[in-house]
Amino acid sequence: MAKKEKKRLQVVISEEQDALLTRAAYALSSPERLVSKSEVVRLAIEKIARELEEGKAKEELEALLKHLKAEEGEEEA
């Protein structure tokens, strides 16, 4: 079986977003299995893609995107 080619993505996130990732990873972890922040990001990507395919949550995601863009504008000022 051929190995899947992996792509690497680097993004800049705020301290608040990093804290959210950490909390999510902690909440999903168990004594038997620790979940990494990278796994949380991959999980979020899959969840968002599925919801969009099913026609769910588009308005909610668009509103969140506007909120994030507004926060970015505040940080740059």
- Computed over every residue of the chain, the mean pLDDT equals 89
Q: What is the pLDDT of residues 65-77, one digit of tens each?
A: 898 888 877 766 5
Q: Tell me if 35 sits within 8 A of 41, measured CB to CB.
A: no
* 70-73 contacts, C-beta under 8 A, 24 or more apart: 71/14
* Cβ contact 14:75 at 8 Å: yes
Per DSSP, 15 falls in state H
Per-residue pLDDT tens over the stretch 30-49: 999 999 999 999 999 999 99
**Residue 13 pLDDT more than 80?**
yes
* Burial bucket for residue 40 (CB in 10 Å: 0-12, 13-18, 19+): buried
The domain segmentation of the chain, as residue ranges, is: 14-74
